[in-house]
Amino acid sequence: MVFKITEPEYILMKKYIEEHCGIHLEKDKEYLIESRLSDLLAETGCKSFQEFHFKARTERSGELRDRIVDAMTTNETSWFRDKNTWEYLKDIAVPVLLNRASSSLSIGARTSVWSAAASTGQEIYSLMMLLDEASKERGLPLLLDKIEVLATDISVSALNAAVAARYDSIAMSRGLPDEKKEKYFTKQGNSWQFDPGLKNRVQFKKFNLQDTFLFNCDFDLILCRYVSIYFSDTFKRELFMKMAKVLKPGGILILGATESLREFSNDFEISYYKNSVINTKKLNLKR
Ligand SMILES: C[S@@+](CC[C@H](N)C(=O)[O-])C[C@H]1O[C@@H](n2cnc3c(N)ncnc32)[C@H](O)[C@@H]1O
């Protein structure tokens, strides 16, 4: 059953959603709330969005909040999404990461990567496959031990799927080359399990991009793809400022192909590699 939302209820729910995950709903998106939250509303026994909003605001556990956020986020993703971006990552970023990992053997600095809206894991596992292949080509597979890989998302269900790393045939058919499927996946029943050795190199955590960025190291590379499209201009400015602060000087921020820093940050040099946009943190930027 679909519950109708009234205008005052829409204002309340829109505010609640933006407060808890940054997703900024424009006017005329009532249908999104109705279609994504009606089942949950029914499950809670509420009779209207006003009652549902009150329940969400007054609960103590945060369980309902997490389920609302889960329902409102769009977890669309695929393997090697945006061919041009992955050419840049393979040709330039991965070799640089391995060079840094190799020099960190002597100087002890950490090489770190963050997938900041990891969804169900395809993005970070695509990168892990490239890192694995490139380190083996160098004859130095243990270089991967020197690279810290963090993957975060606000959606609990997306993160659970990422940690499980089991994909059905539809997910597998979206962008994954056959040779990588054969090399890195094992068929189990109707699904495919991603290589556990590589999976275990990724640390998954629930993290809201609205929160303060407190990490124990600065990153060489951040993938923050297809998430800022859902945020307000104000939040985009704040987000890219926080991203710049946790990148090393010269560190790279990669956005989705339809996203841009242009109006929102002066902290990055923008360049291009085969039509993909590369955002490099300015070297002279103060932290
Ligand atoms: C469209 S997916 C993009 C996945 C992947 N980065 C890609 O490009 O294929 C957007 C992801 O951002 C997450 N997300 C939305 N709001 C967020 C927030 N405030 N903090 C962290 N993650 C968020 C969603 O849960 C969703 O998994």
> What would the pLDDT profile of 147-182 be if each residue is shown by its tens digit?
999 999 999 999 999 999 999 999 999 999 999 999
286 has a pLDDT exceeding 80: no
* pLDDT tens sequence across 97-107: 999 999 875 55
Nearest to 224 by CA among 95, 119, 144, 147: 119
Q: Which H or E run contains 184?
A: helix 178-184
Which pLDDT belongs to residue 268? Answer: 97
Class of domain 83-281: alpha beta
pLDDT band at 27 (very low <50, low <70, confident <90, very high): confident
Looking at residue 119, its pLDDT comes to: 98
Out of 67, 72, 73, 276, mutate this one to test ligand 1's pocket (max ligand atoms within 8 Å of CB): namely 73
Instruction: Give residue-wise pLDDT tens across range 32-68.
Output: 999 999 999 999 999 999 999 999 999 999 999 999 9
Give the mean pLDDT of 236-241: 98
Residue count (the chain): 287
Q: What number does the ligand 1 atom closest to the CA of 23 have?
A: 16
> Ligand 1 centroid to 226 CA: how many Å?
7
Which residue type occupies 73? T
Ordered by start, the domain boundaries in the chain are: 7-72, 83-281
The sign of the dihedral angle between the CA atoms of 184, 186, 192, 198 is negative
The residue whose CA has the least distance to atom 8 of ligand 1 is 225
pLDDT for res 287? 61
Given a contact cutoff of 8 angstroms between Cβ atoms, the answer to whether 125 and 151 are in contact is no
1 pLDDT band (50/70/90 cuts)? Answer: confident
With cut-offs at 50, 70 and 90, classify the pLDDT of residue 284: confident
> Residue 112 is encoded by which pair of tokens?
């770190």
Chain centroid offset of residue 222 CA = 9
| Dihedral angle over CA of 148, 78, 260, 36, nearest 10 | -110
Of all atoms in ligand 1, which is nearest to the CA of residue 120? 27
Tell which CATH architecture fits domain 7-72. Answer: Orthogonal Bundle (1.10)
**Which residues 6+ apart lie within 8 Å of 267 measured at CB?**
240, 241, 244, 281, 282, 285
pLDDT in tens, 98-150: 999 998 755 557 899 999 999 999 999 999 999 999 999 999 999 999 999 99
pLDDT at site 216: 84
* Ligand 1 atom nearest to CA at 21: 19
C-alpha to C-alpha distance for 61 and 55, rounded to whole angstroms: 11
Give whole-number Cα distances, 60 to 19, 56, 66, 84, in Å.
16, 9, 12, 45
pLDDT digits 0-9 by tens, 176-228: 999 999 999 999 999 999 999 999 999 999 999 999 999 988 999 999 999 99
Residues whose beta carbon lies within 6 Å of some atom of ligand 1: 21-23, 73-77, 81, 117, 119, 123, 153-155, 158, 208-210, 225-227, 256
In this predicted structure, what is the pLDDT of residue 67? 98
Closest CA to 49 of 19, 97, 101, 14: 14
What is the reported pLDDT for 285? 79
Q: According to the model, what pLDDT value does residue 108 have?
A: 58
